[in-house]
Structure 1
Amino acid sequence: MTHFPIDVPPAARAIPRAGTAPDDRPRVAVVTAFAPEIAILETALEGAETRRIGPATYITGRLEGREVVLFLSGISMVNAAMSTQAALDHFNVTSILFSGIAGGVDPGLGIGDVVVPARWGHFLEGAFARETEAGYALPGWMSAPVANFGMMHTCPVGVVAPGADAPQGRFWFDTDPMLLELAEAAAAEVDLLGCDAEATPPRVVIGGNGISGPVFMDNAQFREHAHASFEARVLDMESAGVAQVAYANGVAFVAFRSLSDLAGGGGDENEMVRFMSVAAENSARLMRAVLARLPVSL
């Protein structure tokens, strides 16, 4: 969920681009946002084969005994949606598991905790409203599902559901219920890394809301707004975009997000750089535990 540039290694740049023929073998898509997250998983991948499709690199192989396609979504919403749709177009993806770091919005959570939200929404999909004597007001033909933050009003996004012919307004995109159940079962057995000896041991939290947007959030006031208005637990830069693509294609989705920072709620400078390795490892551990429990149908 950072704005840091990703330096693509020369080996990746030299990979030949794949043709248009689809890969029909059923695979689980394992997705991360940026290099430090995917590095944890690449070392565990068996029988890795790499191909380039458009701007993204996809690695097929076996992880936790399952056939997977592992790839970087890229940082932020458009990159994540683009790379995920390309994966669905080229591979026979049966489900999508996203593993990564996030900013903590719920004040009851701590750095290192892993959150598996039951649904995701785009908090910056909407309108910057006109200022009037009565406050910031939307045009009469627009509506917002939650309270505004100054001029910023969040609105539903138009998306065509599977089997539909026209877009409908939708704000929340649900996590697959079976994947959520598997996450809850796996949470009881997974060991998470702690941030330091004095910190409260990290935990897994299942359910609630996550929100995403194309900004790095490090603002205490918006953090409070996000928790109060969206009832959000975590905030990141990709998950809602991937959840929307999964919904539009009728593919099961779940995201595992571990807190690397408090999205502006900490007392000092943002904590992400200090704790992103621990957070990335914790989310990957839970994701792998769920992957190992997946039934063949997913």
Structure 2
Amino acid sequence: MGVTGIIGAMEEEVNILKSKMQVDAIIKKASMEFYKGILNGKEVVIVRSGISKVNAAVCTQILVDDFKICRVINTGIAGSLQNKIDIGDIVISSDAIQHDVDATGFGYELGVIPRMETSTFIADEGLVSLAKKVCEREIPDIKAHIGRVVTGDQFISDKSVKERIESNFHGYCTEMEGASIAQVAYLNQLPFVILRAISDKADDSAFVDYPTFEKKAIEHSVILVENMLKEL
């Protein structure tokens, strides 16, 4: 089974999981605290990466190098990019891409990272399938969607920006860490999945919706991760 790395961007996202685990060690590195131990009978390392792509990427590489993880689950919240995806729903990554990578001046398409074989990072099919099954069983009152997670160093709260991102990348949700974690996983040939509970619509209502629905969204993420671990 190996060690599963579980990354959340914010303390709220990982506190509940940490409170449920048997903590064997807390290792501090790069201003992050890595909680190593057992959750639901499985070896895990749970960590708050901090918000933004750089923090998330650094965190993922530390998990690979120092903890020898064999898979990574990134849990958190996001803004919906599709009308069919409501607040409270879960998006499970089919793949991930960065919307703020722009080398179009050199002839690349928007989102393409120059000199890489791919800029679209495909999630592990087994983890995606497991997440969908567990979500439908454990949280039957919400919908689980499998689709693209779109990442950038922006909190999207403008309808026109949301529409531009959706039009360019056809994403299901937008957030600030997932695709950078996916890129590090790809470079290390590591299976990954990104789980996002929808907290807002990524438009002009985002600042109103986000605080209201954040707590519920986090609860859904915790239920999903806990029950996925049981079946790994």
**Residues 235-294 of structure 1 deviation map (CA, whole Å, 9 limit, x = unaligned):** 00000000000000011000110011111153x743111111111111121122222111
Runs of 4+ off more than 3 Å: none
Do structure 1's residue 182 and structure 2's residue 130 form an aligned pair? yes
Aligned residue among 278, 282, 286 for 2:216: 278
Provide the residue aligned with 1:103 in structure 2.
79
Do structure 1's residue 249 and structure 2's residue 188 form an aligned pair? yes
**Residues 39-67 of structure 1 deviation map (CA, whole Å, 9 limit, x = unaligned):** 11111111342111232110011112110
Corresponding pairs, count: 232
Aligned residue among 144, 156, 163 for 1:204: 144
RMSD: 1.8
In structure 2, relative to structure 1, the CA distance for the partners of 1:269 and 1:84 (3 Å cut) is closer
Return the alpha-carbon distance in structure 2 between the equivalents of residues 232 and 72 of structure 1.
25
Contact 1:111 1:202 in 2 (8 A): no
Provide the residue aligned with 2:35 in structure 1.
59
Aligned residue among 49, 65, 70 for 2:25: 49
Provide the residue aligned with 2:94 in structure 1.
118
Instruction: Please say which structure displays the higher CA radius of gyration.
Output: 1
Return the alpha-carbon distance in structure 1 between the equivalents of residues 23 and 65 of structure 2.
22
Aligned residue among 209, 226, 230 for 1:288: 226
Long gaps (5+) in structure 2: none
Do structure 1's residue 34 and structure 2's residue 2 form an aligned pair? no
SS of 1:79's equivalent in the other structure is helix
The structure in which a higher percent of residues are helix is 2
Contact 1:156 1:169 in 2 (8 A): no
1:253-264 matches, within 5 Å, as 253-264=192-203
Once the two structures are TM-superposed, the CA of residue 229 in structure 1 deviates from its matched residue by 2.5
TM-score, scaled relative to structure 2: 0.94
TM-score, scaled relative to structure 1: 0.74
**Residues 104-132 of structure 1 deviation map (CA, whole Å, 9 limit, x = unaligned):** 111111111111020000000114xxxxx
